[in-house]
Amino acid sequence: METELYQPIKRFLEEAGFTVKGEIGGCDIVGLSADDPPVVVICELKLSFNLELVLQAVDRAAASDEVWIAARVSAKGKGRERDRRFRDLCRRLGFGMLGVSDLGTVDILVSPESPQPRKNPKRRSRLVAEHKRRRGDPTLGGATRKPVMTAYRQRTLDMARLLEAGPLRPRDLKAVAPDAAAILLRNVYGWFDRLDRGIYGLNDAGREAIARWPEPNAAPS
């Protein structure tokens, strides 16, 4: 699975000085440097190097300063990582290539370069904001068909835990979620019930959510 590549790539980028989190804004991996403003690095994962992986990187490029694609290298040495044309394509696009062995070692196959400016400041800002708001690194990069533990979901779960003890007003929940009133009004996940004017309680769906995510800030294993 692609998630098996996450930890080796996360370690590689952390050793390069980035704070790394998975599944941010649809990107498998987002790393931020400690600079202000931060350098934004995006890495997309696949089990093997292919055109779809390159196309994903093209889509992410406008929101980042540096783009990598990563995949498991072929045990028989016949994968696309050996194809000079594929490596040249990545060079022309300015993308880096990382190969992950069966033992989890990471090798740089192509170093990233930026042949032309890429600017999408709104998308970039959304990635940086979500990365900074999200507590811990609770979602493995490369995960599919599973709910992503976003910063919004973390705040909503914090509210649900307070509401387990009984009904509360939005202002009682601001300590864990400054936007508590908006979260209750939208009720995106359907976890809350409006019991009276300005009074909200937790329903069965909310209790099930708490049981499903007992540690919403925990790092992936």
Q: How many CA atoms lie within 13 A of 69 on its CB side?
A: 28
* Residue 88: its H or E element: helix 84-93
For the record, the structure tokens of 204 come out as 């069965």
Q: What is the pLDDT of residues 122-171, one digit of tens each?
A: 999 999 999 999 999 999 998 888 899 999 999 999 999 999 999 999 99
What average pLDDT does the segment 179-208 reach? 96
pLDDT of 115 reads: 57
Structural domains in the chain, CATH included, are 2-133 (3.40.1350), 151-212 (1.10.10.10)
Position 183 pLDDT exceeds 90: yes
User: Residue 118: what pLDDT?
Assistant: 61
Structure tokens at 24: 């941010």
Residue 78 has pLDDT above 90, yes or no: no
Q: How many CA atoms lie within 13 A of 91 on its CB side?
A: 10
Mean pLDDT of the chain, nearest integer:
92
Element (H, E) at 54: helix 51-61
**In this predicted structure, what is the pLDDT of residue 219?**
65
**Residue in the block written with tokens 């769906």:** 205
